[in-house]
Amino acid sequence: ALNLTCFMPDSYALQYNNKPKDSFDTKLSATSLVGVIFLCSFVVLVFIFSGVWCATTYYRQFSRNRMEKKHRIALEKSTQQMLDKSPIITYDANSEGNDFTDKDPTCAICLESFKSKEKLRKI
């Protein structure tokens, strides 16, 4: 078997690395410290902007849903009020006082002919 391991003396490692092989020196240079502070502040700003954006989106959606609900309720009330204001008449085919000019008047919505003595809502 061929042994291909290499042994490097500590003096050789110190010569090229400028620090001991097993050193855990954790000192940061000034530029590294500024870079770390800048990176951390950037991450914090991204989180803050994301939170503000999410809160704004949620508030807009909540406001829009509340406004749509108000409009829907108001529309339901106004529709019922308009129906209550429109007069109800009784159609009589033999009466001369009908407002209908056709011989056989039909409903504009369902296209059915009116029957005699039927109650109609005049629109």
pLDDT of residue 21: 53
pLDDT, position 70:
95
Please give the pLDDT value at position 96. 65
Give the whole-angstrom CA distance, residue 62 versus residue 68: 10
Residue in this structure with the two tokens 């109609």, named with its chain if needed: 120
Spell 75-85 as b/e; 16+ CB within 10 A means b: eeeeeeeeeee
- Pick from 120, 90, 94: which is nearest to 107 by CA? 120
Query: Is the pTM for the entire model greater than 0.75?
Result: no
- The pLDDT score that the predictor gives to residue 67 is 97
Cα separation, 26 vs 32, in Å, equals 12
Q: Quick one: 26 exposed, middle or buried, by C-beta within 10 A (0-12, 13-18, 19+)?
A: exposed
pLDDT in tens, the chain (123 residues): 566 676 666 655 555 555 555 555 567 788 889 999 999 999 999 999 999 999 999 999 999 999 999 999 988 888 888 888 888 777 776 766 666 656 667 776 777 877 777 888 777
Q: In the chain, what are the domain boundaries? A: 28-85, 87-123
